[in-house]
Amino acid sequence: MKIFITGGAGFIGSHLTEALLNAGHEVVIADNFSTSTPANLDRVKGNPGLQVFELDIVEAPERVAELVKESDAVIHLAAAVGVEMVVKNPVHTITTNVHGTENVLAPAAKYGKRTIIASTSEVYGKSTNEKFSETDDLLIGSPFNSRWCYASSKLLDEFSLMAFHREAGLPGTVVRFFNTVGPRQTGRYGMVIPRFVAQALKNEPLTVYGDGEQSRCFCHVADVIRALMLLLDNKESIGNIYNIGSQELVSIRELALEIIKRTGSKSEIKAIPYEVAYAKGFEDMRRRYPDTSRIKALVNWQPEHTLADIIDDVAASLK
């Protein structure tokens, strides 16, 4: 198959590109290289099955439509990334996530292309549920707080895909990623694991925001890619939404201690108030734990990598 990946030079996109090429597919990438880098594609550079176009999906809708038309399937990953970047650039976040996705979904629906779009665990917002399930009601914070523009814009993307599916028969699927991590992820836009590992390797203090009791499940990018490939091939996933995440819940303080231990670092932990790290009135999610029974039931997917594997892989890639 010829697969069109928006954001294909990004952290997740570049791993997906490699996996699809290795499986014998052709890959066409559109990427504006705003938060990604050509170096992410070094391992597939010159591969005859790969075409890379530097273009912005918001600014070049006609070109995006052509690329969709010429492909057999579309995986839409291009988006504004990272909490820090979202808080600082809310207009850019909304424009990219809303108009960019519209520019992908409209032609995908018109030409009836198999489509998967990336959404996020952020859509669960301030839910206090023990586990987050795809059919849950969602509790997104107020527009007075910029953080929630990311969740809101991604949620609109989900509604758009479902609308195109129902009204125009778009064979589409939504995936909600829960803290995907691994080699090539940059800490520049806020992500905690590449930051902590880089700090630990330099024996600098690990910057734990808030009280450090907030918890997350970190999923290795290789597991996420495997989930995407299984869903791409699965017709029953059409018109559906899937959580993709690990079941290993860890507090950010425990994570910092584990990273210090595994890297043999002399670093200490430094607590930083949220308003210093982000902005006044910043609201974090206390706990985020995915119910992944849907994807497990459909394609028998569950993560194979542990948090220890993730830390070791990220550390090896940063050394």
Residues with catalytic annotation? Answer: 150
Instruction: Say whether residue 179 binds ligand UDP (CB under 6 A).
Output: yes
Tell me whether residue 69 or residue 261 sits nearer to ligand UDP (CB atom): 261
Instruction: Say whether residue 107 binds ligand UDP (CB under 6 A).
Output: no
- Using CB under 6 A, which of 209, 242, 289, 301 touches ligand UDP? 209
Tell me whether residue 154 or residue 216 sits nearer to ligand UDP (CB atom): 216
- Using CB under 6 A, which of 258, 284, 309, 312 touches ligand UDP? 284
Instruction: Say whether residue 89 binds ligand UDP (CB under 6 A).
Output: no
Binding-residue total with ligand UDP (CB under 6 A):
13
Tell me whether residue 195 or residue 305 sits nearer to ligand UDP (CB atom): 195
Instruction: Say whether residue 73 binds ligand UDP (CB under 6 A).
Output: no
**Interaction pattern, residues 5-44, with ligand UDP; x per rule: CB under 6 A:** ----------------------------------------
- Write phi, then psi, for 107 (nearest 5 degrees): -70, -35
Per CB under 6 A, the segment of 15-23, 59-67, 71-79, 203-211 that binds ligand UDP is 203-211
Residue 83 CB, nearest distance to ligand UDP (Å)? Answer: 5
**Interaction pattern, residues 230-269, with ligand UDP; x per rule: CB under 6 A:** ----------------------x-----------------
> What is the 3 state secondary structure string of the chain?
CEEEEECCCCHHHHHHHHHHHHCCCEEEEEECCCCCCHHHHHHHCCCCCEEEEECCCCCCHHHHHHHHHHCCEEEECCCCCCHHHHHHCHHHHHHHHHHHHHHHHHHHHHCCCEEEEEEEHHHHECCCCCCECCCCCCECCCCCCCCHHHHHHHHHHHHHHHHHHHHHCCCEEEEEECCEECCCCCCCCCCHHHHHHHHHHCCCCEEEECCCCCEEECEEHHHHHHHHHHHHCCHHHCCEEEEECCCCEEEHHHHHHHHHHHHCCCCCEEEECHHHHCCCCCCCCCECCECCHHHHHHHCCCCCCCHHHHHHHHHHHHC
Instruction: Say whether residue 195 binds ligand UDP (CB under 6 A).
Output: yes
- Binding footprint of ligand UDP on the chain (CB under 6 A): 83, 179, 190-192, 195, 207-209, 214, 216, 252, 284
